[in-house]
Amino acid sequence: MLGKLLVAASALFLLGQGTAQAHHSFAAFFDSTKVIKIRGTVTDFHFTNPHGTIGLDVTDAQGKVQKWKAETNAPVVLMRRGWSRTSVKPGDVITIEGWGSRDGKPYLRLRAAFDANGKPIGQPFGQSDG
């Protein structure tokens, strides 16, 4: 049912990929060298500026559920990359790849998302801007 936490992969370098910040600073909150991937069940999706958020219940290898939050680019940016407020719904099982929080919280900045079948949700950041 619930997904499992995938391995944090520091070897995943995203050269040439940027991070469209809105109001608060990406550089201050997230570590651009700490790329992580999580799979879980969506609990909520807020599609509002300055950033959207996706709540995700992620089950680790010991079966413990941890509540994660993924911050997205500003929805005005996401809309030009094929996202809408119905792209993700509570109950969906999805995988999110992104940059981890500097403070160690279960929080990341979304770079790319995939549905349960591995199909990309919208376009990953860096392929189409603005």
Partner 1 sequence: MLLAGLAAAVAAVGVGSIPATAADKSPPDLTGFWSLEAAPHANDPGLIAKLPPNTVVLDDTGITEFPSGDYGGLKPRPEALAAAQKWKPQDEMTLSRVCAAPSVIYAIQGPFPFEIYQTPTLIVFKYEYFDQVRLIFMDGRGHPPADAPHSKVGHSVGHWDGDELVVDTTHLAPATITNNGLDHSANVHMVERYKLGAGGKTLMATQWFEDPEVLDNNGARFIQWEKKEGNYVFPYDCDPSFATQYQQIGAPEGAGK
Q: Which residues bind partner 1 (CB under 8 A)?
A: 18-29, 46, 48-51, 53, 67, 69, 71, 74, 76-77, 79, 105-107, 129-130
29 or 94: whose CB is closer to partner 1?
A: 29
Q: How far apart are CA 107 and CA 9, in angstroms?
A: 16
Nearest CB to partner 1, comparing residues 49 and 116? 49
Cβ of residue 22: shortest distance to partner 1, in angstroms?
Answer: 8
Smallest distance from partner 1 to CB 27, Å:
4
Question: What are the distances in angstroms from CA 92 to CA 10, 11, 29, 49, 88?
Answer: 27, 28, 27, 22, 7
At residue 79, what are phi and psi to the nearest 5 degrees?
-60, -35
In the complex with partner 1, the residue whose CB is nearer, 10 or 49, is: 49
Asked if residue 42 lies in contact with residue 54, where contact means CB atoms within 8 angstroms, the answer is yes
Smallest gap from Cβ 29 to partner 1, in A, equals 5
